[in-house]
Amino acid sequence: MTTIPDFTEAEYKRAAALLFERYGKLVPIQLADSELQLGADPAQLTLCPAFYWNERGAHFILCKVAADRYRCQFFYSEAEQYGTGCDEYDDIGSCVLTLLQVQSDHERQLASISSGATAANLSDGDYHGPLVV
């Protein structure tokens, strides 16, 4: 059985800093565990440390699958789960930042759709997500 190392304090601080930058306030990050299929055998699940937070109606999960390897997703309900389009990241900062960007884009599209906006309104070319440094 593979043992995944816990998150380091530096990883926690990096994630917390990006959340503060995005939301302008401290967002509580909870430590959790997640069972993931890391290999080819669907019956073989590996216990992975995870960060969990929720903000503005969305729930976020970031799992550490190896040293400096991360997976992430956000969801609104069991039926509404979304990824970033990238299976794994080798940098926690780019993982969190991409996750926040994709969720922000999704949130903006939902707001535009519910307001009656058309596809022409959605493609304004401006980026409306968190500040990218």
Q: For residue 79, tell me if it sits in a domain.
A: yes
SS3 call for 19: helix
Tokens 């997640």 correspond to 34
Residue 126 counted as domain residue: no
Residue reference for tokens 């307001």: 115
Whether 20 maps to a domain, the answer reads: yes
Q: Give the domain range for residue 32.
A: 9-121
Domain-embedded: residue 43: yes
How many domains is the chain built from? 1
Output helix, strand, coil percentages for the chain, rounded to the nearest 5.
30, 30, 40
pLDDT at 131: 54
What letter represents residue 45's amino acid? L
68: left (phi over 0), alpha (psi -120 to 50) or beta: left
- Residue 130 CA to residue 22 CA, distance in Å, equals 5
Q: Is 100 a domain residue?
A: yes
> Which pLDDT belongs to residue 42?
79
Please report the pLDDT score of residue 117 as a whole number.
55
* Chain segment 6-65, per-residue pLDDT in tens: 999 999 999 999 999 999 999 999 999 999 988 888 788 989 999 999 999 999 999 999
Q: What is the pLDDT of residues 62-120, one digit of tens each?
A: 999 999 999 999 999 999 999 999 999 999 999 999 999 999 998 888 777 655 555 55
First to last CA, the chain: 38
Residue 83 covered by a domain = yes
The two three-digit tokens of residue 126, written as one number:
């401006």
Six-digit token string for 5: 């190392």
131 domain-assigned: no
In sign, the C-alpha dihedral spanning 115, 121, 122, 124 is negative
Looking at the whole model, is its pTM more than 0.75?
yes
1 part of a folded domain:
no
